[in-house]
Amino acid sequence: MSDASTSAKGDLKLNNISKSYGDFKAVDDLSLIIPEGSFFALLGPSGCGKTTTLRMIAGLEEPTSGSIFVGQTDITEMKPYKRPVNTVFQNYALFPHLTIFENIAFGLRRRGINDVEGAVNKVLDLVELPHLAQRKPTQLSGGQQQRIALARAIVNRPALLLLDEPLGALDLKLRRQMQIELKWIQKEVGLTFVHVTHDQEEAMTMADTIAVMNEGQIEQMGSPADLYDNPKTAFVANFLGQSNLIKGTISGNDGDSHIVDLFGQKISLQKNRSHAVDNSIYAGIRPEKFRISRLGTSTSGNILTGGHIEDVSYIGVSTQYQVEMPWGQELMVFEQNDDGVAPFSKGEEVNISWEPIFTFGLHGDEDANAGSEVNPDEDE
Amino acid sequence: MVALAKKVDINNSIASLKQKVAMPYLLLLPGMLWLIVFFLSPILTLVSTSTKEPGLGFGEFIQTYRWANYTDALVNLQEQFIRSFVYALIATAIALAIAYPLAYAIAFKSGKWKNVLLVLVVAPFFCSFLLRTIAWRQILAQDGIVFKSLVTLHLISPDTRLTSSAFAVITGLAYNFLPFMTLPLYASLERIDPRTLEASGDLYANGIVTFRKVTVPLSMPGVVAGTLLTFIPAAGDFVNAQILGNPSTTMIGNVINAQYLQTANYPLAATLSFLLMLMILALVLVYIRKSGTEELV
Amino acid sequence: MKKALRWISKNLIKIYAFLGFTYLFIPIIYTFVFSFNKYVRSNLVWKSFTLENWKNPCKPIDICSALGNSIKIGLLATAGATLLGTLIAFALARYAFKGRGFVNTLIFLPMATPELVLGASLLTMFLNLGFNPGFWTIVIAHVMFCISFVVVTVKARIASLDPRLEQAAMDLYANEHETFRRVTLPLVAPGIAGGALLAFSLSFDDFIITNFNSGTTMTFPLYVYTHEKGGLPAQANVIGFSMFFLALLIVIAGQIVGRKRKVSA
């Protein structure tokens, strides 16, 4: 076979891809390079364009403009069955009229591979379900169907494996288990995985690199730790975990740091962690980075005073506090229950503090609630 | 917005699977041609025949565009028209009353017997409907068991007639089209998620309220399809009236049949046929509009 | 007594359904019983029990050739209507095209037109064209009125198909042709079979349209109709009941085989 389904190898490149449906832009001028062999996640809420992007890579959708390359091969207008790409579909799309064996053998047979039986058995061993070969898909549990869908795709050794919300239909426990298993299988077979999900925890657990998408564009791309510790936009700050964003102005400089005025109280922010464009800024701090202290206790780092405990929720490993600040904003604080300090109670007057290196700065014109209102459980 | 995008999404990808614009027309061509040649053009022929007048020779008709044929037919045969529609309406109501519990039981109460019961609904088709109609006539006849036992029980007087009556014609119609009523009803009932019925019970609705407020509205598409598939053939039927009726139960179908095959008065037969078709179509359109079920095909 | 009342109210719907089925089958039971009647000229009054009618079902002249015609016409009409109807169903379910409203109307109208009008108008046209009605005009007429029912049945099946299955096939290196043959067609097949079964039942039992367009050709329903006044032989009951029983047997056997295959696979 001379088509690209077997020959093309290399990085996946999306060059200025757009996809419009009438006036609606599902994907807007998106460019992306996914290195060969990586586990890449496209993360975003419903309707952010991530599934459309995936379907364009699979060839199930044609871009309105832009081009897609695998290595040196342009696959933009290639038919899905000519691409070196396989997909694990949402809800699996196993063929109900074929046995598990024939489901997995489907792609091999179409390509005229010789040792179909050997290859199928090998991949069935890999997903640890060799005893199900002669069953029909409807006789399998959700988790088993998921693994067969994966086996059916990876048995073809594609240059690229696309996973469209592959764990969305599984219950929480099974999902955790499959996350680990998927990661292991990816290492084992060494294929490039592109994983679409709305579940930030799933993306962080599995992917080497995450691209956070919103309204057809990539908001930020990087390693899970990068995205979490140093988000560039309010959307990323809120969509990946929770953030406290406090409005302020840059009032001065101190070496490598900005001095930021938050409602009259001064804190410090490293310049390389600021994404503000002018003096208007949001200072961002993750809730678990905060420390609460009783009035009169000594604290170091950035300090905000005049807090008032509004609400306390004890959840075992940690306690979550809502602290109302003098300017009326409620800050979220997660305290580990490991430091022997007696829990604070509702109504107490407190100060909160944190290490300056944990502060990140966002453009002050942003919508501080962006990304926090979306319902992550809604299916696309 | 997202839902819209998704819809376009699927259509788009289907279109991209086979991009040939000519493809749908190629698929449609043979079937549509068949319907145009053997359905549409005969109907047009029918209309053209309907305005003809008898010529000089026997069986010879001349096109005179005599639209008064229609008013004449309506005036002369209004009794048969009205009777046809009244009989068909009553028969449809009876069939609905019998078929609804039947379909409900098959959809929700039959367990593993579901498919067997469904087959039982269709199977009578294979024992010719003429045979079954004749069987009814014999069962209800003066010397049959039903009649004799009803007389013995003093439920009817010996002078009553069960056959050769409007009663026999209407029950015959209801009986004959029962499968046409049951199948669409079953199809729409079967699609109802039993959990919605449980939810209704959970929300303080008793059995009857649940049935009225949840089951019936959700099965409306089946009710519409079933009543149409019963009413339309019943209104145009002549076999039941011929086998089970008497001269005073003549339906418009009997007249059309006789004008065609016995009197060979083709213009009158055509006029009546087209009138019947128009009336039924008008009723069907009003009914579909009223019941709010647009998607029938 | 109270217990009995409660049982009745609890099983009301089942009792009602049982009565419904009884109503449906009374004439068939009658037909079965009178197939054993030692009739003299007409099979209207019970004389005495005999197996004679079942031993010689073809004894009355024409009855078995009429049945043969019905089966032949049924099979031809089913083949034609299923093919044409399935093509239309695919066009309607899978493509956007101009003139959809016209196509939908033309599918709907034959179902909304009484058989009498269908048969009569077709005869008028055949006569105007100087055609002699006979075997083939019956087949033509049956294909015409069965197409719509096939379209509706098959279209519903295609519409319920998950589009991702076909996308998965193309993703797994099956081209358009292979996708259709190996995924789409096997999945739509039950719908096509259902449409074909419906077409055959409608064709086999049709009397009104056939009566108009038969010429001198005799089908089984026509045989029953023409002999009804002069005395219908009990062999008609034998054949009618046998066809009913055969249909029941075939479909139930098909169900059992289908279920077995599902379980053992």
Which among B1, B13, B16 has the least Cβ separation from residue A24? Answer: B1
**How far is the C-alpha of B277 from the C-alpha of B284, rounded, in Å?**
10
Chain A residues inside the 8 Å CB shell of B1: 24, 47
Distance from CA of B124 to the nearest CA of C (A): 6
Write down the pLDDT at residue A5. Answer: 58
Q: What are B36-69's pLDDT values in tens digits?
A: 999 999 999 999 888 888 877 777 788 888 888 8
- State the ipTM, two decimals: 0.89
Q: How far is CA A57 from CA A51, A67, A159, A343, in A?
A: 10, 10, 12, 52
DSSP A125-194: HHTT-GGGTTS-GGGS-HHHHHHHHHHHHHTT--SEEEEESTTTTS-HHHHHHHHHHHHHHHHHH--EEE
Write down the pLDDT at residue B199. Answer: 74
Q: Given an 8 Å threshold on Cβ–Cβ distance, is A89 in contact with C262?
A: no
Query: What CATH number is given to the structural domain containing C134?
Result: 1.10.3720.10
Q: How far is CA B142 from CA B137, B146, B157, B163, in A?
A: 10, 9, 11, 8
Chain C residues inside the 8 Å CB shell of A90: 164
Q: Given an 8 Å threshold on Cβ–Cβ distance, is B8 in contact with A47?
A: no
Average pLDDT over residues A190-216: 91
- Is the Cβ of B40 closer than 8 Å to some Cβ of chain C? yes
Cβ(A232)–Cβ(A219) under 8 Å? yes
Lowest mean per-residue pLDDT among A96-105, B16-25, B39-48: B16-25
Q: What SS3 state is found at A275?
A: coil
Secondary structure letter of residue C131 according to DSSP: P
Question: What's the token pair of residue B61?
Answer: 């008709």
CA atoms within 13 A on the CB side of A264: 5
Q: What SS3 state is found at A197?
A: strand
Cβ(B236)–Cβ(C115) under 8 Å? yes
**How far is the C-alpha of B222 from the C-alpha of C202, rounded, in Å?**
20
For A106, which residue in chain C has the nearest alpha carbon? C172
CATH topology for B71-291 is: MetI-like fold (1.10.3720)
3-class secondary structure per residue, chain B = CHHHHHHHHHHHHHHHHCCCCCHHHHHHHHHHHHHHHHHHHHHHHHHHHHCEEECCCCCCEEECCCCHHHHHHHHHHHHHHHHHHHHHHHHHHHHHHHHHHHHHHHHHCCHHHHHHHHHHHHHHHHCCHHHHHHHHHHHHCCCCHHHHHHHHCCCCCCCCCCCCCHHHHHHHHHHHCHHHHHHHHHHHHHCCCHHHHHHHHHCCCCHHHHHHHHHHHHCHHHHHHHHHHHHHHHHCCCHHHHHHCCHHHCCHHHHHHHHHHCCCCHHHHHHHHHHHHHHHHHHHHHHHHHHCCCCCC
- Is the Cβ of C196 closer than 8 Å to some Cβ of chain B? no
Distance from CA of B154 to the nearest CA of C (A): 23
Among C160, C166, C171, the strongest candidate for a mutation testing the A interface, having the largest count of A CBs within 10 A, is C171
Residue C264 scores a pLDDT above 60: no
Give me the residue spans of the domains in chain B. Answer: 1-50, 71-291
Q: Given an 8 Å threshold on Cβ–Cβ distance, is B2 in contact with A22?
A: no
- Is the Cβ of C201 closer than 8 Å to some Cβ of chain B? yes
- Is the Cβ of B220 closer than 8 Å to some Cβ of chain C? no
**How far is the C-alpha of A183 from the C-alpha of A175, rounded, in Å?**
12
Residue A376 scores a pLDDT above 70: no
Tell me which CATH homologous superfamily contains domain A244-363.
Nucleic acid-binding proteins (2.40.50.140)
Q: What are A222-254's pLDDT values in tens digits?
A: 999 999 999 999 999 999 889 999 999 999 898
Interface of C with B in 72-111 (CB under 8 A): 83-85, 87-88, 90-91, 94-97, 103-104, 106-111
Chain A residues inside the 8 Å CB shell of C173: 5, 81, 107, 110-111, 156
**Residue C46's CB: how many other CB atoms inside 10 A?**
14
Residue C106 scores a pLDDT above 90: yes
Burial class (CB in 10 A: 0-12, 13-18, 19+), A103: buried
Give me the residue spans of the domains in chain A. Answer: 4-229, 244-363
Sorted by sequence, the CB contacts under 8 Å of residue B21 that are 6+ apart come out as C97
Measured in whole angstroms, how far is the alpha carbon of residue B157 from the centre of its chain?
A: 34
Mean pLDDT of chain A: 88
- Domain range for C159: 61-229
Average pLDDT over residues C235-245: 93
Lowest mean per-residue pLDDT among A7-11, A322-326, B76-80, C10-14: A7-11
Write down the pLDDT at residue B201. Answer: 67
CATH topology for A4-229 is: Rossmann fold (3.40.50)
Distance from CA of A160 to the nearest CA of C (A): 12
Calculated CA dihedral for residues A221, A222, A223, A225, nearest 10 degrees: -90
Chain A residues inside the 8 Å CB shell of B11: none
Chain B residues inside the 8 Å CB shell of A60: 13, 16
Chain B residues inside the 8 Å CB shell of A47: 1-2, 5
Burial class (CB in 10 A: 0-12, 13-18, 19+), B256: buried
Chain A residues inside the 8 Å CB shell of B3: none
- Could you tell me which chains touch chain C, where touching means 3 or more CB pairs under 8 A? A, B
Q: What are A273-318's pLDDT values in tens digits?
A: 999 888 899 999 999 999 998 887 777 889 999 999 999 988 888 8
- Is the Cβ of A89 closer than 8 Å to some Cβ of chain C? yes
A178 or B233, higher pLDDT: B233
Interface of B with A in 126-185 (CB under 8 A): none
Residue at C12 is within a domain: no
Please report the number of interchain residue pairs, chain A to chain B, with beta-carbon separation below 8 angstroms: 27
Secondary structure letter of residue C165 according to DSSP: H
Question: Taking CA A61 as the corner, what is the angle to CA A60 and CA A64, rounded to the nearest 5 degrees?
Answer: 160
For B267, which residue in chain C has the nearest alpha carbon? C124
Residue A65 scores a pLDDT above 60: yes
Give the pairing type, strands A244-254 and A257-262.
antiparallel
Could you tell me what percent of chain C has a pLDDT over 70?
97
Residue at C20 is within a domain: no
Our count of domains for chain C comes to 1
Exposure string of C170-209, with b = 16+ CB inside 10 Å and e = fewer, is bbbbbebebbbebbbeebbeebbebbbbbbbbbbbbbbbb
Confidence class for position B297, pLDDT limits 50, 70, 90: very low
Backbone phi, psi, residue C126, to 5°: -60, -40
Write down the pLDDT at residue A137. Answer: 92
Lowest mean per-residue pLDDT among B14-23, B133-142, B208-217, C94-103: B14-23
